Amino acid sequence: MTERLERRPLGSLVKITGGGTPSKGRPEYYQGDVPWVTPKDMKSWDITDAQDHITEEAIAHSATKLIEPGSVLLVIRSGILKHTLPVGINRVPVAINQDMKALRCGPGLDPDYLARALQWSAPRILGTARATTADNIALDVVRRLEVPVPPLAEQRRIAAILDKADAIRRKRQQALTFADDLHWSAFLEMFGDPVTNPMAWPTVRLGMLCRIRRGASPRPINEYLGGTVPWIKIGDISVDDPIYITDTAEHVTEAGASKSVLLEPGALIFSNSGSLGLARILRIKGCIHDGWLSLDDLSPLLDKVFLLALLNLSTGHFLKIAPQGTQKNLNTGIMRSFATILPPRPLQERFDLLASNARSLRMHVLEARAAQETLFGSLVQRAFRGDLTSAVAAQATGTHQGAGHA
């Protein structure tokens, strides 16, 4: 179906403008009202502001230029180009730095459509990125990029459909943020900060409430890899699950497991180095890397999910008290002496229920987001193959309406 759409080099469709950096030796240049957009500002589709602002005098005395609203902004030099192509549209006048380009569309090209086309072309563009001091995309690559160019009315229809689908994705992310906030805000509302203890709960040393053991890595590890026993490392933490570890990337032999700390499902573990201060509960049987501490034989006074949240919310404290070395490390002695707040067990269990409900909500939203990502990807592919039919448009609109009730 590709032949249904005329394709033209991007350089023949847009005017490309570069940017620059006003002299840092003139601090007064950075006290103006003009947003000065750099790659760090390219985190949203609609660019309406920037972290830094410059004056009109700064623009007049540097390589940067004032970019009219409605231009497509593209990052061409940044470490983020290893995996992501930031694209956005400035809705207000802005200036840009030398790591970016502004694409001003000619009369036959809609900027919202072009921005979506660049997103669709991202894998091809990123495949050309060259690494110098930072990854960069050659301007010739941008100019030669062939863009499908349907009639202007069709471009706007395609952009509108993709905007609706993208809005659903943003709603899913907002719901995900809500679920995360619900988990932690519930703890803070019920118990206060676990380190400063503003509610004056009784405290007990953690070592009096559980057994704390450090994990172990069988060595030489290459002799023990490839078995059937899950070997749980810090990298097995999933950002998508704030409570459990359900899978692991590597396995060791039974002999390797015997040289480590083998734990049953339900064990609570805590990262004592590397990504220090993260607690999780195992849903698998496995042995733990020496970057983990095992907290088992919990006192009946402690609910496991309550303790997990308490530890996760104390990360800042642990980072402060961890001894300096090659990397910060929390030994078992430090953890045994950690003053642990001890609210009544029924209140802890009430939080456990709230946390479990928040996790269920989060997992549901993740599933919905994955389905929406698949739909959005399909719509994008159809749009730029030239077969985004009315039926597909109706599907996108219907999904958008349904999302309002989710």
- Tell me the pLDDT tens digit for each residue of 24-74: 999 999 999 999 999 999 988 999 999 999 999 999 999 999 999 999 999
| pTM as predicted | 0.59
Locate 187 and state its tokens.
Answer: 């703890």
Domain residue limits, the chain: 2-149, 151-199+343-406, 202-342
The predicted pLDDT at position 405 comes to 35
Cβ-based neighbour number of residue 126 at 10 Å: 16
At 350-375, the pLDDT tens digits run 999 988 888 777 777 777 777 766 76
Give 127's contacts (C-beta < 8 A, 6+ positions apart). Answer: none
φ, ψ at 357 (rounded to 5°): -65, -40
Q: Do 351 and 199 form a contact (C-beta atoms < 8 A)?
A: no
Domain 202-342 has CATH 3.40.630.30: no
The predicted pLDDT at position 92 comes to 96
The predicted pLDDT at position 350 comes to 94
Query: Which of 311, 307, 248, 235 is CA-nearest to residue 283?
Result: 248
The predicted pLDDT at position 132 comes to 63
Give 308's contacts (C-beta < 8 A, 6+ positions apart). Answer: 243, 268, 279, 280, 281
Could you give the CA distance from residue 84 to residue 386 in angstroms, rounded to a whole number? 25
Three-state DSSP at 31 gives coil
**Which regions in the chain score pLDDT beneath 70?**
1-5, 131-134, 179-180, 274, 325-327, 372-373, 375-376, 378, 385-406
341 CA to centre of own chain:
32
The predicted pLDDT at position 406 comes to 33
What CATH number was assigned to the domain covering residues 2-149? 3.90.220.20
Could you give the CA distance from residue 274 to residue 6 in angstroms, rounded to a whole number? 52
The predicted pLDDT at position 82 comes to 87
* H helix intervals, 247-344: 254-258, 304-312, 315-321, 332-336
Cis peptide, bond prior to residue 123, ω within 30 of zero: no
- Give the H/E segment covering residue 15: strand 14-17
The predicted pLDDT at position 372 comes to 66
The predicted pLDDT at position 166 comes to 78
Could you give the CA distance from residue 272 to residue 323 in angstroms, rounded to a whole number? 11
Could you give the CA distance from residue 366 to residue 364 in angstroms, rounded to a whole number? 5
* H helix intervals, 192-303: 254-258
